[in-house]
Amino acid sequence: MDTIFYYLPFLETIRDFLELGGIALYAIGILTLFMWILIIERLIYFRSSHRKMVAATEDIWSAREDHQSWNAHQVRTRLISVVSRAMNRNLPIIETCVALCPLLGLFGTVWGMINVFEVMAVSGSGNPRSMASGVSMATIPTMAGMVAALSGIAMSTYLKRRAERERELLGDHLVIRHS
């Protein structure tokens, strides 16, 4: 029970940050969480399922007697394609999430600026105190969107390069034996 009270100030800080940035921060947070779930899923795939799939593919290829015919080349291409498709699963969705994060940040900027103009219209002047919340609502989502996109683009690039490297390695392992 004491651990819950330990995290209360941390949770209050997050709540205050989300309120300060407006509705766009909630959208960026949800999108970033979804993106990182997909990234972690891909990392787990490469650690476990991918190795099993490559081993099964190599077993299928080595069990074949014919490695030289046109048909054998097609089987090899198909085996590599199936593994490659499994490796690239969810990568386009991750890249889309990366692209959407800064766009949601820009949406937050526009939303915050609308609040600034609304305050100016209501108060009738450029009162800096009354405009401060709108300005922070305009800048925080932009920053959050860019940070989320940077973290996602780094992992997206890593996963894409790893998939390419693993595909090349599989192609090297499925050698065509000459009689």
Determine the average pLDDT of the residues in 152-156.
Answer: 95
Q: How much of the chain, in percent, has pLDDT values that exceed 70?
A: 87
d(CA 114, CA 126): 14
Residue linked to tokens 């309120």: 19
d(CA 28, CA 104): 6
List, for residues 101-134, the tens digit of each pLDDT value. Answer: 999 999 888 888 887 777 777 776 666 666 666 6
Structure pTM?
Answer: 0.81
- 3-state SS assignment for residue 88: coil
Distances (CA, A) of 115 to 135, 159, 179: 8, 40, 76
> Does 179 have pLDDT greater than 60?
no
Q: What is the reported pLDDT for 44?
A: 95
Helix (H) or strand (E) holding 3: helix 2-21
Q: Which residues, 6 or more positions from 94, have their beta carbon under 8 angstroms from its beta carbon?
A: 35, 38, 39, 42, 152, 155, 156, 159
Measure CA of the first residue to CA of the last residue in the chain; give whole Å.
71
Q: What is the reported pLDDT for 168?
A: 93
Higher pLDDT, 147 or 5: 147
Q: What is the reported pLDDT for 35?
A: 97
Q: What is the reported pLDDT for 117?
A: 79
Q: What is the reported pLDDT for 92?
A: 96
> Does 152 have pLDDT greater than 70?
yes
List, for residues 38-84, the tens digit of each pLDDT value. Answer: 999 999 999 999 999 999 999 999 888 888 889 989 999 999 999 99
Number of CB atoms found within 10 A of residue 65's CB: 6
